[in-house]
Chains A and B, each alone.
Chain A
């Protein structure tokens, strides 16, 4: 890895589009681009300007640039050479618009030139070839972002958000990544770090300046403050499940006894929803799995259908299938035929719900209700299921069910999605911080010595720093001296 050279790559996704952008970044970005778009006169142009120009294959460039590269990139060099030799001397490649961003006000904090070509694979490809021939090196995956990180333009959380943004499949996932990219998450965590550091200063002051500050080990207002911080982390973590759902998508099985109406409900949900991907390969046999977007989450609904064998083993088999579908599910839809009295088969499933968020679809709402909802609630003990009357055949209640499922996934909470913690690494760090804070408040309430409480707080700060990449370098003493009159 090196930051010394100039990299180039096509920055837009492949495929038919109106425009394709080729990005160049590095110390020689301007000089290299100049040779491909000489009429843009970049050398003298100010930063943040657009220039209309013609891209040409520079006859003098040959396969220059990367040939002398000692970093073992001879493969690149040969490839560049081959491409360059395809182009005729001073051949015009495309009519382009050139955007110039001078360091440090650019994505990578290096000089960046972006060349917008006409869409389609060929023009951008030929412009890229010309840039490589002029001395740029083909960028590796994520290398622009890596440079932005290494140059201090992005912190770790932001750099990760870039990757999320690129891979976002729903609008919600995109806005979540954008929020993180803007540093909103980092800022929020920095604010939490501040409060923990303040509490630490209060405690350290009592340890190091016993004679001056005196008083009890950890004052009540500090304990209260720490509890508040722990609560805030809990809120963020509650949003984390949704954030993760948005970022990674979730699988939601529809479970219920045979004839509860799972398949028709599945069809109703899928039929009305906008399917955003085709059926997953390998699961098409009975069309039992389909991805839809619900509350910004890519939800792969799966029907545990196909259990039609008549016989004694039905209940046992149904439970076995459901158990498999339930394994690791974050949320489930429990389908119950509301027009029939509840049977043992209905309740047998409830024991398998484990940690999943349960949405109860009380199907066949067009018929008189015979099921006892309160017994169902009691059966799904601890899961506090949202109960939604639906009629798969009449098509009523489907929107309500979708909304309830979205809520079960965590959407619409106070946290909203704007600041949800979508990244597993972040969620882990935050829960580590919360555990440390819980231990700290616990220790304080048990009147543990200050340096024990301080140990927990330092661990919490260490965990929080893992999200933003900021270490606990904060000078606690600065705060002590700012607030207390200490010293002999």
Chain B
């Protein structure tokens, strides 16, 4: 990595101009993956961020992975992404969730030292060739003849490029709410990217508004640890990355406490002061990550909610209070925090807050995450309507890879729903309607038993190697692993006893769930037959009788490229799909007749 060779400061247009193949806007979890992938694929890449120190910041909870998210991190790692490797270096507690359930939903998660995570990511990026860090604020994407030509910065500099990946997170026209106080910004104390949002609107992109929230941070020294229940990590800890040989970590504890009747009373007494309930916030928040206000109002019968107390670092003073995301005024936050066992004397370092931000309705993107009608312009992360570090990272990676593939004249990488959670995520994004931030769940994957954390390498490492993001040794390791397992399954004697824990786990899972996995595979094949019926784009401009008005409107808007995609669009009924099949057949017939 090299620093920009010249930096003449604001206003000096000519001398500061730089030329890249790809510019990535934003160095969050999406941006870092995008930049690393594109640069490692040999494209000269710039990673633009406001402050160079702000790399891969964990703005909310101090963990990577978790149910379904951990699966995606493993997949990303098998493809050659960087998140899992950085997590293994910054992790301070490792735990596989759902161990009591079947192996398909075992999900690795690591509590991280937030500051360390940023440093480790920055260090890793340093080592990537073709990658340049640029400090600045993106204002405007310039298109020429429908193709990305340059990115203009707020200080007037212009970065010429052929492709651009935009990953602004909550900064896109962000607005922070604490009580009735409103401050523009994407994170507390930081700026908001207004011009960029306007630029996207000028490109004709339809935007929406979403909301997310974060809980207050408490000071480590003001917590009564003995009054809470300790939550240890796994022993021994398992790394997230396939490529981490050894994980030596002195694990820290998390802790469990709970809300109670007094906590709920404080919330109820102060509801009018919550911007969520005063009508001040317009954006839609995630139902799966409700604010404490929502929990108390929507589930009045629940007398208590669990609250996890998580350190933000090995030595950091900040303690994350997982489960009490809120936008109440700071004094109310402190009041309800102190009703909980162990937190009676707690002091806040920072209050929780809600943030509203713009996103681009993702049906305007292709499965490559490229904006339809703007060649070379890719979006990833919260701008596409998702929430979560992992969801952002995998999109960033896919956008970076596809930007690079596009410039190399190669077809885009699109993963199937039966191939990876990443495929499910992107397909859901671009073919369905979204009213709240999208988070991955295992139940979103209809072929869940095939998409396990233990076989991510089997599913995806060959692709990573083909992209040049895994080296030959890594690809060979995966090949050898599954060759040994299959030989053993055929009754061979490759010596299970000598295998690593990881190999043994894969082997045992396959043996134990063979029947179900086989059935799931057949179901996936059945689904594929529908998936493979291609809908020509010309179909949407022609006459399409026989469909409900709603279905027709949706189909014309989404323009799905296969019948399978069409069938997943809300409002498109199976009878609409039947009609669509008829039209597709007719269309194919007509096309055949004219040639």
Contact = CB atoms under 8 A, between A and B. Distances in A.
A211 interface: yes
A17 interface: no
Nearest to B543: A4
Interface stretch (B188-196, B216-224, B442-450, B478-486): B442-450
Interface stretch (B36-44, B121-129, B575-583): B575-583
Contact of B449 (A3, A451, A485): A451
B288 A1 contact: no
6 nearest A-B residue pairs (beta carbon): A449-B102, A3-B545, A150-B546, A487-B289, A487-B288, A481-B287
A251 B459 CA distance: 55
Contacts of B575: 149-150, 152, 155-156, 469
A207 interface: yes
A221 interface: no
Contacts of A477: 288, 441, 443-444
Contact of B290 (A217, A455, A465, A485): A485
27 contacts: A1-B586, A4-B545, A150-B575, A150-B578, A152-B547, A152-B548, A155-B575, A156-B574, A207-B105, A207-B442, A207-B443, A208-B443, A209-B67, A210-B100, A449-B104, A450-B102, A451-B101, A451-B442, A455-B519, A458-B446, A469-B578, A476-B443, A477-B288, A477-B441, A481-B288, A485-B298, A487-B289
Contact of B68 (A147, A156, A208, A449): A208
Interface stretch (B49-57, B361-369, B565-573): B565-573
A152 B576 contact: yes
A471 interface: yes
Given A4-B545, A470-B573, A451 B288 contact: no
Interface in B275-292: 286-290
Interface in A443-488: 448-452, 454-455, 458-459, 465, 469-471, 473, 476-477, 481, 485-488
B545 to A, nearest CB: 4
A207 B101 contact: yes
Given A207-B98, A470-B573, A477-B443, A485 B67 contact: no
B325 interface: yes
Nearest to A151: B546
B442 A208 contact: yes
Contacts of A2: 545, 586
A471 B582 CA distance: 18
B516 A455 contact: yes
Given A451-B104, A452-B516, 8 more contacts: A150-B582, A152-B573, A204-B441, A210-B98, A211-B306, A449-B104, A451-B448, A488-B325
Q: How large is the interface on A (under 10, 10 to 19, 20 to 34, 35 or more residues)?
A: 35 or more
B323 interface: yes
Contacts of A209: 67, 288
Given A212-B306, A488-B325, A217 B287 contact: no
Contacts of A452: 102, 516
Contacts of A208: 67-68, 441-443
A455 B448 CA distance: 9
A473 B577 CA distance: 13
B93 to A, nearest CB: 15
Contacts of B443: 204, 207-208, 454, 476-477
A455 B520 contact: yes
Contacts of B574: 156, 465, 469-471
Contacts, number: 116
Nearest to B61: A488
B303 to A, nearest CB: 11
B568 A211 contact: no
Given A152-B576, A455-B516, A488-B325, A449 B302 contact: no
Contacts of B523: 459
A217 B101 CA distance: 8
Contact of A449 (B105, B290, B322, B573): B105
A151 B551 CA distance: 11
Interface of B: 61, 67-68, 97-98, 100-102, 104-105, 286-290, 295, 298-299, 302, 305-306, 308, 322-323, 325, 441-444, 446, 448-449, 516, 519-520, 523, 543, 545-548, 567-568, 570, 573-579, 582, 586
Interface in A202-234: 204, 207-212, 217
Nearest to B520: A455
B286 A487 contact: yes
A451 B446 contact: no
Most chain B Cβ neighbours within 10 Å, of A4, A150, A204, A217: A150
B323 A488 contact: yes
Contacts of A207: 67, 98, 101, 105, 442-443
Contacts of B325: 488
Nearest to A206: B101
Contacts of A147: 546
Contacts of A217: 100-101
A471 B105 CA distance: 25
Contact of B289 (A210, A458, A476, A488): A488
Most chain A Cβ neighbours within 10 Å, of B288, B302, B322: B288
A448 B513 CA distance: 11
A458 B575 CA distance: 20
Contacts of B548: 152
Contacts of B105: 207, 449-451
Contacts of B449: 451, 455
Given A150-B579, A451-B442, A471 B567 contact: yes
A459 B442 CA distance: 17
B304 to A, nearest CB: 10
B167 to A, nearest CB: 23
A465 B548 CA distance: 19
Nearest to B576: A152
A478 to B, nearest CB: 9
B581 to A, nearest CB: 11
A431 to B, nearest CB: 18
A3 B546 contact: yes
Contacts of A152: 546-548, 573, 575-576
B39 to A, nearest CB: 33
Interface string A1-18: 111100000000000000
B576 A486 contact: no
Contacts of A481: 287-288
Given A207-B101, A211-B97, A487 B448 contact: no
Contacts of A156: 574-575
Contact of A210 (B97, B295, B448): B97
Contacts of B579: 150
Nearest to A156: B575
Contacts of A449: 101-102, 104-105
Nearest to B439: A487
A330 B574 CA distance: 35
A142 to B, nearest CB: 15
Given A2-B586, A451-B442, A487 B101 contact: no
Contacts of B102: 448-452
B325 to A, nearest CB: 7
Interface in A291-321: none
A487 B298 CA distance: 13
Most chain B Cβ neighbours within 10 Å, of A452, A469, A487: A487
Contacts of B516: 452, 455
Contact of A487 (B68, B290, B545): B290
Nearest to B443: A204
Contacts of A211: 97, 306, 308
Contacts of B586: 1-2
A485 B288 contact: no
A473 B570 contact: yes
B49 to A, nearest CB: 27
A3 B305 CA distance: 57
Contact of A485 (B101, B299, B444, B573): B299
Most chain B Cβ neighbours within 10 Å, of A150, A208, A476: A208
A62 B445 CA distance: 60
Contacts of B295: 485
